[in-house]
A and B are shown apart, each in its own frame.
Chain A
Amino acid sequence: AQSVTQLDSHVSVSEGTPVLLRCNYSSSYSPSLFWYVQHPNKGLQLLLKYTSAATLVKGINGFEAEFKKSETSFHLTKPSAHMSDAAEYFCVVSTYNTDKLIFGTGTRLQVFP
């Protein structure tokens, strides 16, 4: 079975400081992993995805994530937070043969001026 665990329900940073949102996964096969962002009262937007190519994945808005098989992790990072990054972030893994996604519980990112 596949699963994802987001290790922090809330993360607070100051504007201009680095962001780290942590995600561990469990999968019996080579997974496809995604990070989505959701601003209040909006739909989910794909930030980036890993599908067994390069382990360091670059996404939109300066975000990137590194797939580490040995640590079963897929942490999301950004060098410098912006106020507009304040949102809910979901780490997601795909299932093997059902086209369904399994969502983590989400991490709420707050950015202080």
Chain B
Amino acid sequence: DAMVIQNPRYQVTQFGKPVTLSCSQTLNHNVMYWYQQKSSQAPKLLFHYYDKDFNNEADTPDNFQSRRPNTSFCFLDIRSPGLGDAAMYLCATSRTGRHYEQYFGPGTRLTVT
């Protein structure tokens, strides 16, 4: 089935140690998103891509970076994770246009020790 895949599902990293989360999609959607979701909160958009055009949210910390080498793959890099970065990270995809829904992956639960 076409889907959004995130790896790993669970990631433990040490304070200050860089970590990379990955997302892939088989839907061939041109828009890809990264969200951060903390406990009992709505997802918070970090950034998104239109094809290779990167769009950063104004309040996304510089500690968070992203790469999209091709249509199918997108990566989230956290350069120096702090304890406050522990969260669920969700990847989503969609077609362009406000009538289209976003398809979410299962998420990566990040723990920072």
Contact = CB atoms under 8 A, between A and B. Distances in A.
> Are these two chains actual partners, yes or no?
yes
Interface of A: 32, 34, 36, 41-46, 49, 51-52, 90, 94-97, 99-101, 103-106, 108
Contacts of B31: 99
Q: Which bucket holds chain B's interface residue count?
A: 20 to 34
Contacts of A105: 41-42
A97 B50 CA distance: 13
B106 A101 contact: no
Contacts of B105: 43
A99 B101 contact: no
A43 B98 contact: no
> Which interface residue of A34, A94, A97 has the most chain B CB atoms within 10 A?
A94
A100 B42 CA distance: 14
Nearest to B97: A99
B107 interface: yes
Interface of B: 4, 6, 31, 40-43, 45, 48, 50, 88, 90, 92, 94, 96-107, 109
A37 to B, nearest CB: 11
Given A43-B90, A44-B90, A103-B43, 9 more contacts: A34-B101, A43-B106, A44-B92, A45-B104, A99-B96, A99-B97, A99-B100, A100-B48, A101-B102
A100 B107 contact: no
A59 to B, nearest CB: 11
Given A99-B94, A100-B48, A94 B99 contact: yes
Contacts of B41: 105-106
Nearest to B31: A99
B107 A43 contact: yes
